[in-house]
Amino acid sequence: MSLDRALDGVPFAVDKFRCLEAAKMLAEFKPDDEIFPWSSAPPLTQLTFKTLFISICHRMNWDVLQSALASWMLPDTDRRLPEFAATPPKQIRHLLATYPKKERVLAHQRAAMLRDTAASLLALSQPSGTIHRLLDQPYLDGPGGFYEVFGQIAAFQGDPLEKKIRVLAHDLYRERIMRFVDPENLRPAVEYHLLRLYLRTGRVFPTRPAVVEALTGEPRPARRRLVMLLRETVDQAMRDTAHYAGLDVATLNYLEWQLARTICVSELSREWHPHCLVA
């Protein structure tokens, strides 16, 4: 069977028994309360900082970028939005001057995205704006909910599986910045480390030889449609695992991401592992 025919069918499936096996181990996890440099700031400041950070967090080590932005933006992030809305590329280059992989700094791209996100936050955080309402009555789904409001920001658009906006929702919930009244509507944020983890553990498996060959053989990188279908299947497997483990999706996502990125190796397409834990 050709790959095209395989992709028109059901190229991946979820092994619910293996999801249950993994869930039994994950259910023992009790997250510690973490303290961050922004933890004592007002909720609006924390929300503003996390949104700016996650809007430009791609192809870059998470911890390095978050630490660099925290040193620049805190403690009065929300009051400095006009400044961030005029961020020049040289500011990004300065913040990441010691980052060893210069090709990933992407100063012009990150500066442009940061300017756009800051401008959007300025509009949304006016005294009668939607951000203040959401901080008072935080909910995820539905008209005027978090996904709809923050989905207006350009940096959170363009990905059908909404990785960045979902990661933002997770961080806001886990760090208790926004206590969403409907945590059952938290959605998995599927990225390359988790794709490989779920394939390795057999919770998601290819159903056709052509799909196996596409994942493991040449040429690489794997085609975009294949990756999207794999992400959709891992999304469902993560929901199943969280349900069986009795964990909210945000906690499961964070736990498995931490586990997966520490064992990141070059098994699949290079586009899926450009910046692992030691990046």
- What is the pTM assigned to this prediction? 0.89
Q: What is the pLDDT of residue 272?
A: 40
Q: What is the pLDDT of residue 3?
A: 72
**pLDDT averaged per 10 residues in sequence order, the chain, 279 residues:** 68 97 92 90 97 96 96 97 98 96 96 98 89 96 96 92 95 97 97 93 92 74 81 97 97 93 56 39
Give the separation between CA 237 and CA 175, rounded to whole angstroms. Answer: 24
pLDDT in tens, 125-158: 988 789 999 999 999 999 999 999 999 999 999 8
Assess contact for 205 and 12: CB atoms under 8 A: yes
Q: Which helix (H) or strand (E) holds 12?
A: strand 12-14
Tokens of 30: 């009790």
- CB-CB neighbours of 57 under 10 Å: 19
Give the separation between CA 275 and CA 268, rounded to whole angstroms. Answer: 14
Q: What is the pLDDT of residue 268?
A: 43
